[in-house]
Structure 1
Amino acid sequence: MLFPLAINAQKSDEIFRAAGSPHNPKVQISFNRYYTSEGLAALGKKIADAHPNLVKRQSIGKSAFGKDIWMLAITNYKVGDADRKPGFYVDGNIHSNEIQGGEISIYTAWYLTENFGDNDYITKMLNDRVFYIVPTINPDARNNYMKEPNTGSSPRSGMIPLDDDRDGLFDEDGYDDLDGDGSITQMRRKSPNGTMIIDPTDPRKMIGVGPDDVVTAQRYEFLGSEGIDNDGDGRINEDTHGYYDPNRDWGWKWQPDYIQRGAYKYPFSLPENRAVADFVLKHPNIAGAQSFHNSGGMILRGPGAQEDLSTYNRQDIRIYDAIGKKGEKMIPGYRYLTVYKDLYSVFGGELDWFYGSRGVYTFTNEIFTPFAYYKDKNGGRNQTYDFDKDLLMNDAFTSWKTFNHPTYGEVEIGGFKKNFGRATPGFLLEEEAHRNMAFTFYHAYHMPNLSIPTIEEKKLSGGLKEITVSIQNDRLMPTHASQDLKYKITRPDYVSISGVNVIAGMHVLDDDFNVTEEQKTNPAKMRVANIPGNSIIKIRWIVKGNSKYTITVDSAKGGVVTKKSN
């Protein structure tokens, strides 16, 4: 009898650690593949179970078809109050086929937890900040894309059907996987009037011919994606996998479907987005956010539409620019762009809701660019065939084969599979995840970081004392974005003193010329509208009594800092 040998993880003395990688991971994950919604959930649970002092896992809601939307809250729970640390929100996969965000999110959670205690940068990050990571906010649609026949671009959105051709019927004539390979590829047919021939240098390719070209090779015509006339109306694929778009559903400058295709009934009518919004509203400590889409290699900021241009003022755009331009360096081939100006108009988008409604600095990264094929900025999509042959060993292409079509007769079916083009190839996926994660960390690093560097005392007559406190924010982001200040989204920051009898409290407007502004009501708890980035503000009190006192800075997005007198 033969018994299979047990296959165990490699021992530590069999491994030489590569720079930038975890020392000895408790959770082993392969980042050269994609995971279903259930797969992502299982990985999240493994990470949470392996690191109970760093991860709290919870469902923030249910999808349209009842799947849990899992979130990992990651911080050092032994240091400080997790709910009072500056929070950074991450999500991916709002669109079904834009799958890389799930793996990048899981990679981020894995990297944070596995490097804590070994890497000083990560350790300090988790001591000071909390990350809220939702790998997929659209679990139903993720599974549909992966498990059902689809193109690389379908279904793009949610799982509530949309009447694409507005005939009152839903998906009555969608794609059909005629060859049963799980991908919707292309159909072609031999035709004397066709405008395409097979490329003599590569039988996978079709090349065009002009009306005056002398052609002796077999001509072909393209018939579109795989499909048949399911509803007997004489058309094929005219109502193909249309679904409402979750990224047109957010409650900021929302527009109905007849103005912007894809919008559903009203803002937050889709349960997945509503679950995210409810979570964010309960966590005013969230100061930064990142959403992962695909594709094109872009780092995007709002506004989504020109009509919303005034929302983003110059002061906040400088912060966006600093982070976005750093991202271009960190992720080669990516471009930092503005949605409405460089792409198209989006109303009711996630980017604008996070910033416009919550005052949270937010980016969307469009994952993967053809630059990655040969690291050549002049390459692009024309290199897909070469890349498949040279580096994927022809794994991304379904070879042409004949099929007896009920309408067209004998056709040929073939083309690139749904997991190629928009989705990052496996051997490049971990690099993509790491670079985008590092950009996320840079963004999170520049959330407010408050400290009390100095406390100055000055004796006055009558047993009184003047106490001047400096509060420093040494990162790019203020405690309140301009949008936050404009609409008073988040409460003011508070700087308070305890242990003494406070006679007066004031903001120091100009220390050199001793210009101050008194707060006459409750001076022991000074209200501060904002602590700008890379700046110091000063608060002054006139007090009487005890020489021992405590200063506390309490900011919704900047955290809580205390310092005792000497």
Structure 2
Amino acid sequence: MIPKSVRGRGVKQSVRNGSAAVFACLLLLVFAYPGLSQSQAYRRFPELEAAVRDLASRYPQLVEVTSIGKSVEGRELLLITLTDRQSGSPGSKPALFVVGNLEGQHVAASELILGIAQELARGWSRSDSIRSLLRQCTFYLLPRANPDGAERLFGKVRWEQAGNVLPWDDDFDDAADEDGPEDLNGDGWITQMRVPDPDGDYLADPQEPRLLRKVDRSKGESGQYKVYTEGLDNDGDGEYNEDGLGGICLDRNFPHSYPYHQPGAGRYQLQAPEARAIVDFLLGHRNVAASLAYCLHENLLLPSSGERQSAGTAPTAETGTLRAPAAARRQASAQPATSLHEDDLPYYRRASEVFRKLVGVGDRSLITTPKPEGAYFEWAYFQYGIPSFATPGWYPAPESGPAPKSDTSGAEGPPTATSLARSLLRSARAPQERVGESLDAEWLRWFDKHAGGAGFLPWRRFRHPQLGEVEIGGFLPGARVNPPDSLLPELIRRHARFCVELASWLPQIEVDSLNVQALGSEVYRLTLRVRNRGYFPTVLAHAVRARAVKPTRVEIETQAELLSGNKYAFLEPIAGSKSQKTEWILRGKKGQEVRIAVIAEKAGTVRRTIRL
């Protein structure tokens, strides 16, 4: 550590005098990795906005671009609304909401969602099935939910920023963002520094010298290195880069299983304006019937287990909540649900089967996902009441060896994309800590085979102005969550197929039959049968329990006298391809008009007129 009075000019001059030979060598490696080089496949915000608006200009009959809010730095949260407007307004149809790039470094999500929107727009004129789908439902697509965090992967100096950029005092010293990383060796990336120190917690992995592993002092091992994010101790507190660019991780800021007082979660739920904008949009668009999030969580490979609802503690139909005794209602709502309702599990299992088939996903992936806490996709199911799915979008398979074991040491590690549960704000504070077969070793094998060894910068010596001799290197920011751009076209094609399939499952009500039977003396029986021609039910079982979705309502309007039945009738949830009947007895004159409206929050509205 050096005093604040000594820092500044001398330190910066020392950094500028770094080895030109080291810089040239590193530069070659940087541009060898196609997914994160200067390729046009991954777009900065201006390029992404231009592509989104270009789509709207080319398909004005299908695409509308609006903003649902702004980021901390004032970037628009651009929403693509895609449907055939000649068949009805977007809000009158069941909708699929697709959101991505909740974590700033996960820019592949933006490209996948934009690509899906482009495939749908092009398919409207080429495919009868897509044309029919766009007449029946609406797509709401939000490609970049965290534009500020994403921009940190595109600047002159690039690093992983999972959260937004709301100023934050990470080290509780009454100063925010005062000790962030610096690109000391001038290679354009923020990676790691390993500092020789026998008191350090890491040593070189004997099986793979490029990697570090945690010291096991119970076995008499001694440390070799301390590990820091690349940069300086700007605030003179002996810590390096412990309070860089602040931020709230959007996918830890939603109001379900919210991780109070944890890194990246914010001071309170929905503090992040980007997260609040998403919730406000969905609450204002109740026609959204399912959701797909491209994020660093996962429930499409292994859906969560379900839970059985105790007998007598919760309603089993939409109207049951209203009719249940007060004691039962209190008991039903005493504890929030934390796992899928068992009656909803078949839909998740079917989605997993179809996803694996259409996207081509195996049983293992190198991208690990943390326990969801304050995650969007869980909020959408547990609080908003719709089928909600999450996927990283890319599933690089291990090359060989047994499945890597997760770290069980509990020690503090880097909040990278593969250990987001620890911090989720900045990457590369320490190596990935694993026991047994190393996940980092699996990644190195993948990069060696598919990217010529790029994706990892070899350790290079550097004279640090405060620490002396150090080595700088490690995995490139974003390399382990964003595929090489050569893989994007095929990934987009496959994910577009899954999105089309998922949208075709949305609940869709229709009048199966509407009949009048004369009973004599100007008395008539009116029978209505409503069918759900989708796959998802009109209301999920959990949504019934949580009272998150309004029941399907049938309204009858006529001058005839209503002898039996209600003017406003509520239907039980209608499963996919099933129907439900309701009847009225009326007294009126022959030829008198009766108007019927069936209104389902998630499954559309149909209106019919019949005469007695």
Range into which the TM-score falls when normalised by the shorter chain:
0.7 to 0.9
Matched, 1:166 2:172: yes
User: Is 1:57 equivalent to 2:65 in the alignment?
Assistant: yes
Residue 475 of structure 1, aligned match among 534, 550, 553: 534
SS in 1 for 2:488: helix
Match of 1:309, SS state, is: coil
Flag the 1:190–1:67 CA change in 2: closer, same or farther, 3 A: closer
TM-score for both structures, normalised by structure 2: 0.72
Residue of structure 2 in register with 1:556 after alignment: 601
Match of 1:275 in 2: 277
Count of matched residue positions in the alignment of Structure 1 and Structure 2: 504
Instruction: Tell me whether 460-469 or 137-146 shows the greater mean CA deviation.
Output: 460-469
Alpha-carbon distance in 1 for matches of 2:452, 2:164: 33
Structure 1 distance, partners of 2:265, 2:108, is: 24
1:89 equivalent among 69, 91, 97: 97
The answer on 1:289 being equivalent to 2:294 is no
> 1:223-265 CA distances to partner (integer Å, 9 max, x unpaired)?
44322222223332333555222223223454532xx332323
Equivalent of residue 329 in structure 1, options 357, 371, 374: 357
Question: What's the CA shift string for 1:513-557, capped at 9, x where partnerless?
Answer: xxxxx43xx2xx433253333321012233442177554422221
Aligned to 2:410: none
Q: Does the alignment pair 1:493 with 2:552?
A: yes
Higher relative contact order (CA 8 A, sep 6+): 2
2:114 matched residue in structure 1: 106
Deviation at 1:50, TM superposition (A): 0.4
Q: Is the 8 A contact 1:297 1:369 kept in 2?
A: no
2:116–2:495 CA contact under 8 A, matched in 1: no
CA RMSD of aligned residues (A): 3.8
Tell me the equivalent position of 1:66: 74
Aligned equivalents of 2:471, 2:305: Cα separation in 1? 45
* Equivalent residue number for residue 393 of structure 2: 367
Counterpart CA distance in 2 for 1:358 and 1:156 is: 25
For residues 424-448 of structure 1, give each alpha carbon's deviation from its aligned partner in whole angstroms, at most 9, with x where no partner exists. 1212223333333333333322111
Counterpart of 1:459? Answer: 518
Letter in 2 for 1:313: H
Distance 1:115 1:424 in 2: 25
Segments of 5+ residues of structure 2 without an aligned counterpart are 1-37, 218-222, 308-334, 405-438
Give, in whole Å, the separation in 2 of the partners of 1:106 and 1:159. Answer: 24
Q: 1:318 aligns with which of 346, 363, 376?
A: 346
1:78 partner SS:
helix
Deviations 1:382-426 (A, max 9, x none): 343343344323443434433211133233323332241121121
Three-state SS of the structure 2 residue aligned to 1:401 is strand
In the alignment, the residues of structure 2 paired with residue 205 and residue 256 of structure 1 have an alpha-carbon distance, to the nearest angstrom, of: 34
Distance in structure 1 (CA, Å) of the matches to 2:288 and 2:513: 27
Partners of 1:197 and 1:220 within 8 A in 2: yes
C-alpha distance in 2, partners of 1:103/1:84?
28
Q: Is residue 244 from structure 1 mapped to residue 244 from structure 2 by the alignment?
A: no
* 1:530 alignment partner in structure 2: 573
- Secondary structure in 1 aligned to 2:178? coil
Residues 86 and 147 (structure 1), Cα distance of their counterparts in 2 relative to 1, 3 Å cut: same
Summarize the Cα distance change of 1:310–1:503 in structure 2 as closer, same or farther, 3 Å threshold: same
* 1:382–1:333 CA distance, 2 compared to 1 (3 A): farther
Query: What amino acid sits opposite 2:382 in the alignment?
Result: G
CA distance 1:368–1:42, shift in 2 (3 Å)? same
2: CA distance, partners of 1:422 / 1:275 = 25
Q: 2: CA distance between counterparts of 1:140 and 1:105?
A: 18
SS of 1:538's equivalent in the other structure is: strand
CA contact (8 A) 1:446 1:476 kept: yes
Question: CA, structure 1 residues 377+440, in 2 after alignment: closer, same or farther (shift >3 Å)?
Answer: farther
Contact 1:302–1:352, Cα closer than 8 Å, also in 2: no
> SS of 1:95's equivalent?
coil
In 1: Cα distance, 2:74 partner to 2:60 partner: 27
What stretches of structure 1 of length at least 5 have no aligned partner?
1-29, 212-218, 506-517
Q: What SS does the corresponding residue of 1:363 show, helix, strand or coil?
A: strand
- TM-superposed CA distance for 1:38, in Å, is 1.9
CA contact (8 A) 1:303 1:352 kept: no
CA change 1:350–1:336 in 2 (3 A) is farther
> TM-score normalized by structure 1?
0.78
Letter in 2 for 1:226: E
Code of the residue aligned with 1:281 in structure 2: it is L
CA contact (8 A) 1:451 1:473 kept: yes
Local SS of the residue matching 2:234? coil
Q: Give the distance between the partners of 2:277 and 2:212, measured in 1 at CA.
A: 46
Counterpart-to-counterpart distance in 1, 2:363 and 2:597: 41
Closer, same or farther in 2 for the Cα pair 1:352/1:400, shift >3 Å? closer
